[in-house]
A and B are shown apart, each in its own frame.
Chain A
């Protein structure tokens, strides 16, 4: 299982959506860490949310829903491949919001399949 610790390997305070916005944007996280980890194997990628000092919604949407929007992943596939970990239970709020963005994007991309 691959592990990505956002705070230690990327930034404690990510911000921005696109590469043009900042070095710690959602697109930067997706392209530099998330996609390589997902492509490297078929296994689970664990995302550690501890120590991050806040995640803006635009970052979460771009980083994670971007996998569906631009990279062809499906929500069920990501449910199998991504796992969020945190020592402090209250950080589950970020996980809930991220899955919401992924599901919303899935509904946008594949409305017919979801309706069935």
Chain B
């Protein structure tokens, strides 16, 4: 009886030990996978924000009726729209970071596509470059720092498609 009980407790203990090991391995694997996903989203986001900025600087430096302006306007709007769909994925685990980014993202879109954007009578406004640069760097900085702050919190292991 005593031998059987010892064998059983040893067997159960072994199973629990193996289960715990598997769980810990799975947990760290998922953290790594999620972090790799976040890195990919961040990289894509920063790249498209930079492209939108580059197109916007050229666009605002020329008059709205300049050759190629309509194409550039579409390139700017399209990239901003794509970025709008991406950044919430990065901040899914913290509402605070998401809200901070919302504000800066809207400022970014307003700077690049607000005012006389798309107004045919708009003259060249190269002086807008500084404003575009500022809005871009503020947004990029929030994305980088926001991701770091998110990682200091408990990781969200939900599966997200990117």
Q: What residues of chain A have their CB less than 8 Å away from a CB belonging to chain B?
A: 13, 15-18, 20-22, 25, 53-59, 61, 88-91, 93-94, 96-97, 100
Contacts and interface: CB of A to CB of B under 8 A. Distances in A.
Given A15-B77, A97-B109, A97-B110, A56 B85 contact: no
Interface in B12-26: none
A16 B81 CA distance: 16
A22 B105 CA distance: 26
Given A15-B77, A90-B85, A56 B117 contact: yes
B105 A21 contact: no
Query: Ordered nearest first, which 9 A-B pairs have the shortest CB separation?
Result: A54-B81, A57-B114, A56-B113, A54-B77, A16-B118, A58-B117, A57-B110, A57-B113, A90-B88
B50 to A, nearest CB: 18
Given A89-B88, A93-B106, A97-B106, A17 B119 contact: yes
Which of A25, A58, A61, A93 has most B Cβ within 10 Å?
Answer: A93
Contacts of A94: 84
Contact size class for B? 20 to 34
B120 A21 contact: yes
A47 B117 CA distance: 23
Contact of B113 (A18, A53, A58): A58
Contact of A20 (B85, B105, B110, B120): B120
B119 A58 contact: yes
Contacts of B88: 89-90
A12 to B, nearest CB: 11
B98 to A, nearest CB: 10
A96 B98 CA distance: 13
A100 B109 CA distance: 13
Contacts of B115: 57-58
Contacts of A93: 84, 102, 105-106, 109
Contacts of A13: 74, 77
